[in-house]
Amino acid sequence: MIKITDSPTCPVGSHGLFFGVPRPAPLAPTINRSPSGFTTSPFHRFTVSPPPRIPASPSHQFPDSPFHRFSDSKKAGFSLLEVMVVVVITGFGLLAIMQLFPIGLQAGRISQDVTIATFLAQQRIEELKNTSYKDIEDKSGAFGDPYAEFNWNQRVSEETVNGETGMLKKVTVRVFWSSYGKTRNVKLVTFLTNYKKI
């Protein structure tokens, strides 16, 4: 067993390892320091570099420079003229949009009335099919509730078939009504046959 004392020199050992020779100092890990002051020794897994320094802008370095005045003018806000222009343009846009609403409502109402008038004209034709051939003639009238604003008329004309008359009638049924200051109408045409002569 070798005994090592704390003195710089060791006594003569029994095994002849040290004979008054100064004991070598213990090896210490080499620590290198980077220019930034952070250690980069083998015990460090990563080298941490300091954050980059961001140079100050010209307006911060020189408060009285043109750059500073330009930066402050951008933060001043909108002028009165710019605000008025925006308000006028927005007003015209809203006015145009508001004018489209009555047009859309009017178109929807007219389309609904046309659908109802077509249904009423078809209903009148179905009634004529159940009418005697000789009783089919020119007539006019009005529909009852809930279609009291709709009126109708029918025009009948005799058609010639193979040089003979009294076998076919052309019936034109027209339903009309007033909407938005105009008289509108829907017309349906059908042919009715005198089956007694066939």
54-66 per-position pLDDT tens digit: 665 554 555 555 5
pLDDT of residue 7: 46
CB 180 within 8 A of CB 191: no
pTM above 0.75, yes or no: no
CA distance linking residue 154 with residue 131, whole number of Å: 14
pLDDT category of residue 183 using cuts at 50, 70 and 90: very high
Provide the mean pLDDT of the chain: 75
Mean pLDDT of 43-47: 53
3-state DSSP assignment of residue 96: helix
Does the pLDDT of residue 4 top 50, yes or no? Answer: no
Does the pLDDT of residue 112 top 90, yes or no? Answer: yes
Mean pLDDT of 41-61: 56
Q: Is 65 left (phi over 0), alpha (psi -120 to 50) or beta?
A: beta
Does the pLDDT of residue 89 top 50, yes or no? Answer: yes
Under 8 Å CB-to-CB from 48, ≥6 apart: which residues?
38
Going along the chain from its start, the domains and CATH numbers come out as 105-197 (3.30.1300)
Q: How far is CA 58 from CA 19, 51, 53, 55, 74, in A?
A: 72, 21, 15, 9, 15
Does the pLDDT of residue 27 top 60, yes or no? Answer: no
Does the pLDDT of residue 94 top 80, yes or no? Answer: yes
Does the pLDDT of residue 36 top 60, yes or no? Answer: no
Does the pLDDT of residue 39 top 60, yes or no? Answer: no
